Amino acid sequence: MRIQFDPIGIIHSPYKELKGMPIQPKGAVGIKGRVEVFEHFREGLDDLEGFSHIYLLYHFHLSRGVDLRVIPFMDSEQRGLFSTRAPKRPNPIGLSIVQLDRIENGVLYIQNVDILDGTPLLDIKPFAPQFDAQEHVRTGWLEKAGTSVSGRRSDDRFR
């Protein structure tokens, strides 16, 4: 059973290539970008500006192939793909929580952008701690890696 999606917009960012990109929005604080939502879908943006943070779901459009075991940027050991956010996934869907500054004429002005320029947008959802915050969280191999995501940068490994 194949599932077909069409982009609803395009994400613009300063990052023209994978190498040197921040590896998470937390490593991209202050980095600005824009999301151009196609005209046909703009009516659905009403009320979104009330939210300071949003989920962007997008297509890792440059990702080719699947690696079920990867060495994440934040580790030195191989890990199972689904315990990572690496892009070479069976369904290469990216997920980033970005800060929404404002919306003008169907364009979302965003910050904390860790996304490649030209990335096809699949969906936007509001970020809401009353739904999304969790207590008593364990984070497996990431706990050893610490919280030092901010300085890490991408290299070519997931091209």
Task: List residues binding a copy of itself (CB under 8 A).
Answer: 1-8, 24-26, 41, 43-55, 57, 59, 68-69, 79-85, 89-91, 93, 95, 97, 99, 120, 122-134, 136-143, 147, 149
| CB of 17 or CB of 52, closer to a copy of itself | 52
Cα four-point dihedral sign 117, 119, 125, 128: negative
Any residues with CB less than 8 A from the CB of 87 and at least 6 apart, and which?
60, 62, 63, 94, 158
How many C-beta atoms lie closer than 10 Å to residue 143's C-beta? 10
Cβ nearer to a copy of itself, comparing 13 with 84? 84
Closest to a copy of itself by CB, 14 vs 139, is 139
Question: Which H or E element spans position 10?
Answer: strand 9-12
Q: Is the dihedral of CA 38, 118, 116, 64 positive or negative?
A: positive
Q: What is the DSSP string of 75-122?
A: -SS-EEGGGS--S--SS-EEEEEEEEEEEETTEEEEES--S-TTEEEE
Comparing CB distances to a copy of itself, the nearer of 15 and 114 is 114
Minimum gap (Å) between residue 110 Cβ and a copy of itself: 13
Q: How far is the CB of 50 from a copy of itself (least distance, A)?
A: 2
| Least distance CB 119 / a copy of itself (angstroms) | 12
Residue 155 CB, nearest approach to a copy of itself (Å): 19
Residue 71 CB, nearest approach to a copy of itself (Å): 12
